Amino acid sequence: MPVLSAIGLGLAAVAIAGVFTLRLCLHHGEGLMALSFACYGVQDVRDGHAFFAMVNAAASAVYAWRWWHGGGGDNTRRRLRQLRRRFQPVRRTAPTTA
């Protein structure tokens, strides 16, 4: 079994077991599943299986979207807002003497 498939299988097993035993929140399990499908997708690209790579990319995107909107991206959103506050917009107009 290739390494990336083994990592994907391990992440999926941890996510499923963690959610069913209530040791992980649902959005944390969805984040792990997104990583799992991403690993499977990269392995499929390496093996030359284009269809399965597209399916795994779509599944990874769905789980990443669910993770982001389920509360998993809260700290990321907060960090992006702090970064946005550091930049002050400056209005620049074209010179009139041109």
Whether residue 47 is contained in a domain is answered as yes
How many domains does one find in the chain?
Answer: 1
Query: Kind and range of the H or E element at 28?
Result: helix 26-47
- CA atoms within 13 A of residue 44's CA, in its CB half-sphere: 16
Q: Which of 64, 62, 60, 56 has the alpha carbon at shortest distance from 28?
A: 64
How far is 38 from 8, CA to CA, in rounded Å?
A: 8
Whether residue 91 is contained in a domain is answered as no
Whether residue 30 is contained in a domain is answered as yes
What confidence score (pLDDT) does residue 96 get?
A: 73
Q: What is the pLDDT of residues 48-64, one digit of tens each?
A: 999 999 999 999 999 99
| pTM of the complete model | 0.76
Q: What is the pLDDT of residues 60-86, one digit of tens each?
A: 999 999 998 887 777 877 888 888 888
Range of the domain at 29: 3-71
What confidence score (pLDDT) does residue 98 get?
A: 57
Whether residue 18 is contained in a domain is answered as yes
What confidence score (pLDDT) does residue 50 get?
A: 96
Can you count the helices (H) and strands (E) in the chain?
A: 4, 0
